[in-house]
């Protein structure tokens, strides 16, 4: 066990090594064997990372938290070291990320079996996994920020995987630039903390914040900067537009993006929560962001007819609940929400990815009657739906009920947000289930086969894990005793889910999805379908302001800066051209010029004195 602890630094390296080993095939330097060896290498390295973390967990469970530190550079009084925080919570999320990454890669072996850039995709997945594992285990804010930047880069590359499609390039660019806004602000917070606290290790920051000597204004600005990065990573309002556009990437990447990537960003926020408490305003802003995103994204998800975009907005809504839990200083609720949501959401995206793979379609209005043609996929979808709603005894029931219990007395309005999200989530899942799996087969689903075993095995494996998740959580002592639960709160939670499911079953659905002739209803349809016109709001405010500033800067540079330089150049040129005519070679002309010049100088001096 000590050997596994000493070599725990290899866990983030497995994925990075796999990505490096896959480069010859990704760059097509090796063509004789085809791209499959790169795929096998990365799956094997991910399996090693999963097994290493799995066997490391019992050692940390028995021995307690340990910090493994490595000296990186020590010269002239400068000491740079890399440290890993091996705690139970970190290893739980490490097992979650590496396990889901392994299943997603096996799933991708079937999904991208005939793709010509198979090696490049798996190399990017290895890079992706290494960055996420490093963020989870890092004990330093600086290294976490560095690894988050790697995660942003890998997101850009994976979203733009099919770069021959113009919409894919736009989605990758928007995802990268939107995240950069939060990352720049997070860097400002990092620099501020480095100045105030003198250290960027999380343990040192937790000690510093107890007696922090910092002005209220500086504390507020620092707290807001610290929450900006996770806001962008977790696709929270107002930096939420990238997640639905990122669905242009392959489905195996969408599985991880909606389960692991947003979890990773929220995990950093939870680590920073003891520091963010220096600013009550920052905590209130977290609650406002969480409430706005949870309610708004849930409503927008109901109006979407694209498979992936529907559930990407639902992902933002659930992470909004995590922001609420962090803002109300209940990190335990946030941990539970992240853990249970990630598993259920990954299963949902596996099932819809299977449908996209077999039908080449992700439009809800063109699907139907798949339950008899894809029974395994149907069971997978239903299992994921149970894991994502407050249905006893599945995963999200425990996290939702725990959150409602803690917020019951002090924040009753936030309890309503939890119940509303559960209600809309159940309604949306039933809506999608009816449109896709029930009803008569449509033209694109009449000859739809079940997916192959490479995609079916990860789906069924994760389905079993979702069903057994309450037992796993109980074994790890994550579930509170039954006597601590508030019975009225539990009844409200179950009732909200049943009400949403019942309304979803009996709500009339029209595949034509035409706009209503009633003006008020049509206005609501357009408002939700266009994501509350957030993109147009950006165009009218931020984009227009930046455009006008850039136009003014261009005019000033062209006519003022360049004009001054060009004026000096033109004056020099004209002066030189004019002076060349005074060089005639005749001495009398030179004497006349000197006399006239001296005379004018004397005249000007006399006039000035007078």
Whether the upstream peptide bond of residue 393 has omega within 30° of 0, thus cis, is: yes
Q: 559-581 pLDDT, tens per residue?
A: 888 888 887 887 777 777 666 66
Of 534, 502, 523, 331, give the one whose Cα is nearest residue 427: 502
Q: Are residues 446 and 310 in the same domain?
A: yes
Q: Are residues 417 and 287 in the same domain?
A: yes
Q: Are residues 126 and 152 in the same domain?
A: no
More confident residue, 529 or 227: 227
Residue 600, both tokens: 């004018």
pLDDT of residue 516: 57
User: How many angstroms separate the CA atoms of 457 and 459, rounded?
Assistant: 5
pLDDT of residue 387: 87
Beta strands in 420-558 (DSSP E): none
Residue at a domain's end among 510, 529, 548: 529
Q: 406-448 pLDDT, tens per residue?
A: 888 788 888 888 899 999 988 888 888 888 888 777 777 777 8
pLDDT of residue 583: 65
Residue 372, judged by CB atoms within 10 A of its CB (0-12, 13-18, 19+), counts as exposed
Contact 349, 108 (CB under 8 A): no
> Which helix (H) or strand (E) element contains residue 79?
strand 78-86
Question: Which residue reads 């995590």 in tokens?
Answer: 322
Residue at a domain's end among 122, 139, 156: 139
**Three-class SS state of 94:** helix
Of 256, 191, 203, give the one whose Cα is nearest residue 229: 191
- DSSP string for residues in 380-397: HHHHHHHHHTT-TTSHHH
Q: Are residues 212 and 133 in the same domain?
A: no
Judge if pTM exceeds 0.75.
yes
Q: 463-474 pLDDT, tens per residue?
A: 888 888 888 888
Q: Are residues 425 and 495 in the same domain?
A: yes
Q: Are residues 206 and 69 in the same domain?
A: no
pLDDT of residue 546: 82
Residue 202: pLDDT over 80: yes
Beta strands in 139-253 (DSSP E): none
pLDDT of residue 257: 82
* Residue span of the structural domain in which 592 resides: 537-609
Q: Are residues 204 and 293 in the same domain?
A: yes
Q: Work out the percent of the chain whose per-residue pLDDT is above 70.
A: 94
Confidence of residue 508 (pLDDT cuts 50, 70, 90): confident
Contact 133, 49 (CB under 8 A): yes
pLDDT of residue 514: 55
pLDDT of residue 511: 62
The residues with which 79 forms a beta bridge, in sequence order, are 74
Q: Are residues 175 and 126 in the same domain?
A: no
Of 38-52, 58-72, 223-237, give the lowest mean pLDDT range.
58-72
Contact 395, 479 (CB under 8 A): no
Overall number of domains in the chain: 3
Q: Are residues 117 and 247 in the same domain?
A: no
Residue 241: pLDDT over 60: yes
Helical spans, DSSP H, in 534-586: 534-538, 544-555, 562-579
Of 356-360, 397-401, 475-479, give the lowest mean pLDDT range.
475-479
Of 365, 313, 233, give the one whose Cα is nearest residue 532: 313
Question: For the chain, what is the mean pLDDT?
Answer: 83
Q: 342-373 pLDDT, tens per residue?
A: 888 889 988 888 888 888 888 787 887 888 88
User: How many angstroms separate the CA atoms of 293 and 291, rounded?
Assistant: 6
Rounded average pLDDT over 378-392: 87
DSSP secondary structure letter of residue 326 = H
Confidence of residue 52 (pLDDT cuts 50, 70, 90): confident
Q: Are residues 322 and 402 in the same domain?
A: yes
pLDDT of residue 76: 62
Of 106, 82, 86, 83, give the one whose Cα is nearest residue 95: 86
Of 143, 217, 149, 137, give the one whose Cα is nearest residue 182: 149
Instruction: Taking each helix axis as running N to C, give the angle between helix 10-21 and helix 36-63, from 0 to 180 degrees, rounded to the nearest 10.
Output: 180
User: How many angstroms separate the CA atoms of 319 and 233, rounded?
Assistant: 11
The segment with the largest mean pLDDT, out of 25-34, 528-537, 570-579, is 25-34
pLDDT of residue 223: 87
Confidence of residue 528 (pLDDT cuts 50, 70, 90): confident
What b/e readout covers 128-156, taking b as 16+ CB neighbours within 10 angstroms? bbbbbbbbbbbbbbbbbbbbbbbbbbbbb
Q: Are residues 124 and 145 in the same domain?
A: no
- Residue 336 backbone zone (phi > 0: left; psi -120 to 50: alpha; other: beta): alpha
Residue at a domain's end among 104, 139, 174: 139
Rounded average pLDDT over 367-384: 86
Q: 281-299 pLDDT, tens per residue?
A: 888 889 999 899 888 888 8
Q: Are residues 200 and 134 in the same domain?
A: no
User: How many angstroms separate the CA atoms of 297 and 73, rounded?
Assistant: 46
Residue 77: pLDDT over 70: no
Residue 325, both tokens: 């839990």
């Amino acid at each position: 066990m000590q050997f596994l602890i000493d070599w725990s630094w290899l866990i983030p390296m497995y994925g990075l090594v796999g990505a490096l080993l896959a480069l010859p095939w990704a760059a097509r330097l090796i063509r004789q064997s085809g791209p499959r060896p790169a795929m096998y290498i990365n799956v094997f390295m991910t399996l090693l990372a999963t097994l290493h973390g799995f066997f490391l967990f019992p050692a940390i469970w028995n021995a307690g938290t340990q910090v493994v530190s490595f000296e990186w550079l020590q010269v002239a009084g400068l000491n740079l070291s890399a440290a890993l925080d091996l705690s139970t919570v970190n290893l739980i999320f490490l097992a979650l990320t590496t396990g889901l990454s392994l299943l997603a890669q096996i799933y991708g072996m079937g999904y991208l079996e005939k793709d010509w850039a198979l090696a490049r995709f798996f190399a990017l997945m290895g890079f992706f996994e290494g960055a996420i594992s490093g963020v989870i285990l890092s004990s330093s804010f600086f290294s976490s920020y560095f690894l988050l930047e790697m995660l942003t880069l890998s997101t850009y590359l994976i979203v733009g995987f099919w770069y021959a499609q113009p919409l894919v390039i736009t989605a990758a660019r928007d995802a990268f630039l939107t995240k950069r806004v939060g990352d720049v602000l997070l860097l400002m917070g990092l620099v501020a903390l480095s100045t105030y606290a003198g250290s960027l290790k999380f343990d040192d920051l937790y000690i510093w914040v107890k007696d922090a000597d910092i002005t209220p204004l500086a504390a507020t600005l620092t707290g807001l900067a610290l929450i900006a990065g996770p806001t962008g990573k977790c696709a929270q309002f107002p930096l939420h537009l990238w997640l639905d556009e990122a669905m242009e990437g392959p489905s195996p990447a969408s599985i991880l993006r909606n389960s692991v990537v947003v979890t990773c960003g929220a995990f950093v926020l939870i680590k920073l929560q003891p520091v963010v408490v220096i600013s009550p305003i920052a905590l209130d802003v977290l609650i406002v962001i969480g409430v706005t995103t949870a309610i708004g994204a849930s409503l927008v998800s109901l109006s979407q007819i694209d498979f992936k975009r529907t559930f990407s907005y639902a992902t933002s809504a659930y992470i909004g609940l995590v922001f609420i839990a962090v803002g109300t200083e209940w990190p335990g609720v946030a941990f539970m929400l992240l853990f249970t949501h990630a598993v259920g959401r990954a299963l949902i995206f596996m099932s819809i990815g299977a449908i996209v793979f077999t039908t080449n379609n992700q439009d809800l209005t063109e699907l139907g009657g798949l339950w008899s043609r894809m029974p395994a996929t149907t069971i997978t979808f239903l299992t994921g739906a149970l894991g994502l709603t407050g249905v006893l005894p599945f995963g999200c029931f425990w996290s939702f009920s725990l959150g409602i219990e803690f917020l019951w007395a002090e924040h009753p309005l936030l309890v309503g947000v939890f119940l509303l999200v559960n209600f809309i989530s159940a309604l949306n899942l039933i809506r999608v289930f009816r449109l896709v799996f029930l009803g008569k087969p449509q033209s694109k689903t009449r000859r739809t086969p079940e997916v192959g075993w490479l995609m079916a095995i990860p789906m069924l494996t994760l389905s079993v894990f979702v069903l057994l998740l309450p037992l796993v959580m109980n074994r790890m002592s994550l579930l509170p005793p039954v006597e601590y639960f508030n019975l009225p709160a539990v009844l409200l939670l179950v009732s909200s889910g049943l009400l949403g499911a019942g309304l979803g079953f009996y709500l009339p659905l029209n595949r034509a999805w035409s706009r209503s002739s009633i003006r008020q209803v049509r206005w609501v349809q357009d408002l939700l379908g266009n994501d509350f016109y957030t993109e147009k709001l950006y165009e009218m405010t931020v984009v227009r302001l930046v455009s006008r500033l850039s136009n003014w800067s261009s005019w000033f540079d062209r006519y003022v800066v360049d004009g001054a330089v060009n004026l000096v150049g033109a004056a020099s040129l004209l002066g030189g051209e004019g002076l060349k005519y005074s060089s005639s070679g005749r001495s009398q002309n030179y004497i006349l010029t000197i006399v006239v010049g001296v005379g004018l100088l004397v005249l000007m001096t006399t006039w000035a004195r007078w």
